[in-house]
Structure 1
Amino acid sequence: MARLESNIPLAAQIAEQLRRRIASGEFPVGTKLPTEFQLAQDFGVSRNSVREGVRALVHTGMVRARAGDGTYVTAADALTPALRRRTTTERAVHVEEVRRLLEREGARLAALRATPEQRAALRDAQEARLAARSGAEYMAADLTFHHVLLEASGNPLLCDLYRGTGGIEESVHRVTPTDTTYERFAARRGELDAAHEAVVNAVETGDEEAAARAALHSVLLSEALPSVEPSAEPGADPVR
C-alpha cells in the first residue's frame, strides 16, 4: 500500500504519487491507469479522493480520461503538455527557431556522450531511413532517428523540451507523402539523407562541431521541403 502523509490533502498526495510513478516508467505513455477501485485499494483511501487526484493530473495534461474506457497516460511529465499548449499559440517561426537550437545542441552533446549502444541505434535508424519504401516506414524510421539522437545527448531535460515543442514530429508529418506518392518523394530526398548521414558520422567519430552543423543543416532542409497537400487531385505531385 502506498504511504500517504496526514498533513497534506489526500487528493494532492495521490496526484503527486501518481506523477512520480508515471515519471518512473511504471505507467508508460499510452498505457491505462488502474481503475479508481484498484487505486483506492492501493492508497487505502476512498474512490472520491482518487478521482480528485486523477483529475488534477488531467488538468496538467499528463493523463486523459476516455468516457467508458478509462484514464490513459499521455505524457511522462507536466512540462511536455505545458510546452505543447504554448507552442500552439506561439508564432511558427519562433517554434522552429527553438527546435533548431535543441536539435543542434542535442547532436553536439550526442557526439560527446553517446554510448556505443546509442551510436549503434542511431546507425540502425539511419539504415532504416535509407531502406524505407513507404511513407509509413520513412516516418517511423525518421522519428526513431531523431529520438535516439536526442536521447544520446545524455540530457533528459533537453529531451523533454524537445518533445514538448513537438520535436521533429510536426515536420515529418508535414512533408512525408502518403504511400501512393512516396516514390516521387524518395527520388528527391538525397540531400536530406546525406545530411542525416553526416550527423551519424559525426556522432560516431565524436566530432561535436560537425554533428551540430549537420543536425542544423538537416533541420533546415526539412523545413524547406514543401508541405504535403492532403487534398491534391489524383495524379498530382504533392511534392513540388
Structure 2
Amino acid sequence: MPRIEPVQTRSEQVADQLRDRIAAGEFPVGSLIPTEKDLAEETGVSRNSVREAVRALVHAGMLASRAGYGTYVTDTSDLAPTLARHIDRDREQDVAEVRVILEREGARLAALRATPEQIDALRSALAVRSDALADGDEDAFTAADIDFHRMLMAASGNALLAELYRGVGGNELALHNVGMSRETAEMTAAHEAVVTEVAAHDPGAAAAAADHLIALVEALS
C-alpha cells in the first residue's frame, strides 16, 4: 500500500525553506533574516503565511525577535533547542546516562574520522584550557572546556550525534558540578589522553579514555 504523505500548509513550506537556508549557512547564527515583506515576495506566499512560519521557528528556538532590530537566527537547528526544553522535565540520571553514551561514542568515531585539522583544534582547545587554569580564569576555562567537548563531537563526523550532545547540555552540567576549582592533574591528563588516542586513530582506546575521563568527573560530582 503506497505511503500517503501529509499535505503541508504554505506556512509549513516556508518554515521548511527557512530551516534549510539556515542549516546551509545562508543565515548564520546572530544574523537577521529577510523582512516579512521580502520573504513573502521571495516565496510567493502571503505575509500571513510567512508570519506563521517565522512564529513557528521562534517557538522552536531557531529564531528570536527584538523590537527595533528584527528577527535573527539563534540556532542552526531546532533539534538542540527542542531537546533542551525537555532536560528540566527528564530524570537527571536519564540525561546523564545519555551524555555518557554520546561522549563515549563521539570519541570512538572521532578516532576513526577526525581530520588532522580537527585534531590540531582539539589540542589548541586543551592548550587554552590549561592556560586558563594556570591563570585562574574561570570563564576562559569553562569556554575552552565546552569548546573541546563540542569539537570532539564534531570530529565524530556524525552531525546528528553532535547536535544531540549539544541538545542534552553537553558537558555544561559537569562543569557546573565540578568546575575549575576541582580540576586535578589527573583530569587534565585524562583530557589529553582522549586526544592522544583520537590522534592515534584507535577507536577502542579513545572510547576507553573517554570512559576514564567521565568516571573522574562523576567521582567529583
User: The residue matched to 2:75 in structure 1 has which SS?
Assistant: coil
Distance 2:39 2:174 in 1: 39
Relative to structure 1, is the Cα distance of residues 31 and 170 closer, same or farther in structure 2, using a 3 angstrom cutoff?
farther
Offset of 1:174 from its aligned partner? Answer: 4.2
Offset of 1:13 from its aligned partner? Answer: 1.5
Q: Hey, which bits of structure 1, 4+ residues long, moved more than 6 A?
A: none
Distance 2:66 2:178 in 1: 31
Instruction: Tell me if 1:135 matches 2:130.
Output: no
Distance 1:140 1:119 in 2: 18
Distance 2:54 2:130 in 1: 43
1:1-240 alignment, distance < 5 Å = 9-132=9-132, 133=135, 134-176=137-179, 185=181, 188-225=183-220
Q: Given the two structures, how large is their TM-score scaled by the length of structure 2?
A: 0.87
Distance 2:14 2:20 in 1: 10
CA contact (8 A) 1:62 1:75 kept: yes
Offset of 1:196 from its aligned partner? Answer: 0.1
What is the alpha-carbon root mean square deviation over aligned residues? 2.0
Relative to structure 1, is the Cα distance of residues 26 and 170 closer, same or farther in structure 2, using a 3 angstrom cutoff?
farther
Aligned amino acid, residue 158 of structure 1: L
Deviations 1:169-224 (A, max 9, x none): 232244335xxxxxxx27x5212101101101101111212211111222232334
- The farther-off stretch of 212-221 and 101-110 is 212-221
Offset of 1:95 from its aligned partner? Answer: 0.5
Relative to structure 1, is the Cα distance of residues 70 and 176 closer, same or farther in structure 2, using a 3 angstrom cutoff?
farther
Deviations 1:155-174 (A, max 9, x none): 11111111111111232244
Offset of 1:8 from its aligned partner? Answer: 5.1
User: The residue matched to 2:64 in structure 1 has which SS?
Assistant: strand
Relative to structure 1, is the Cα distance of residues 137 and 8 closer, same or farther in structure 2, using a 3 angstrom cutoff?
closer
CA contact (8 A) 1:139 1:173 kept: no
- Please, which runs of 5 or more residues in structure 1 have no aligned partner? 1-6, 178-184, 227-240
**Corresponding residue of 1:180:** none
- Please, which runs of 5 or more residues in structure 2 have no aligned partner? 1-6
Aligned amino acid, residue 195 of structure 1: A
Q: Given the two structures, how large is their TM-score scaled by the length of structure 1?
A: 0.80
